[in-house]
Amino acid sequence: MMEEATLYDTLKVGTNTLSQTGADAAIRDSLSTRLSAVLCPTDPTTSHLSGRSVGRSLGRSNYLAVNRVAVSVGSGGGANVRGAFQGAWPHADASQNAVRKGRPFRDFTDGLSSTFLVGERSVGHPYSTSTNSMANWVGSTEPEQSGSSYRGPPEVGGATQYALNESPSVTWYWGHWFRSMHQGGGQFSMVDGSTRFVSEDIALTTYRALTTVANGEVIGEW
């Protein structure tokens, strides 16, 4: 849908694993491709590379799948934390790793217009000096992408455990949250295809409720 069919075919999406593409000298340079559509013009970062690499540096993105509420492996996968792209985060969860299928609309019982799909994460940040992008458009759940038990999602997805634009007290958490260089908030796309500017002052309970797919919250205006 982004008129990047040639890149899609070159990377052998759906056929290769990320590590296989990274090991293929004929195509691995494509992993570093700059995609302007996924780079927010407000982010002052000049490099289009994420700092992650698998054979080649991976192209950076400012827009990530909304994965879940809580990042902790121990937080479970119940309705109270599950987001649109919640999958097999824990490394040990082998039961979900064999096949990753799309989530049908019928699963979104909280409402398509009341569930986050994609959120914004800048490298620069008005409240922090962090330069760790922790985000790329090349998606994977392979452990070699992140080197952690989270199997990749910190680079292609985010969580809403901390408030939008908040700088967590635990340094390594920084890579998991949503943030932007927009004054007062950040951009999110909803499952119904609409895009909303979300205020950084949104109540944390509402912010998290907009993440879950089927937790039964009554959200109201926000």
Asked if residue 179 is part of any domain, the answer here is: yes
123 domain residue, yes or no = yes
pLDDT of 186 over the 80 cut: yes
Domain ranges, residue 172: 35-209
Query: What burial class does residue 191 get, using C-beta atoms within 10 Å of its C-beta: 0-12 exposed, 13-18 middle, 19+ buried?
Result: buried
Task: Kindly state whether residue 111 falls inside one of the protein's structural domains.
Answer: yes
30 within some domain: no
Which helix (H) or strand (E) is 68 found in, with range?
A: strand 63-68
Query: What is the average pLDDT across 200-218?
Result: 93
> Does residue 48 form part of some domain?
yes
pLDDT digits (tens, 9 = 90+) for 83-129: 888 754 434 444 444 445 567 898 899 999 999 999 998 886 666 66
Sign of the CA dihedral running 151, 153, 155, 160: negative
Residue with the two structure tokens 């922790």: 134
8 falls within a domain: no
| Cβ neighbourhood burial of 107 (10 Å; 0-12, 13-18, 19+) | middle
Q: Is residue 192 part of a domain?
A: yes
The count of structural domains within the chain is 1
Whole-structure pTM value: 0.83
User: Any bridge partners for residue 63, and if so which?
Assistant: 120
Q: Is the torsion defined by CA of 56, 152, 39, 30 positive or negative? A: positive
Asked whether residue 2 is assigned to any structural domain, the reply reads no
Range list of H helices, the chain: 5-10, 18-23, 143-146, 153-156, 204-209
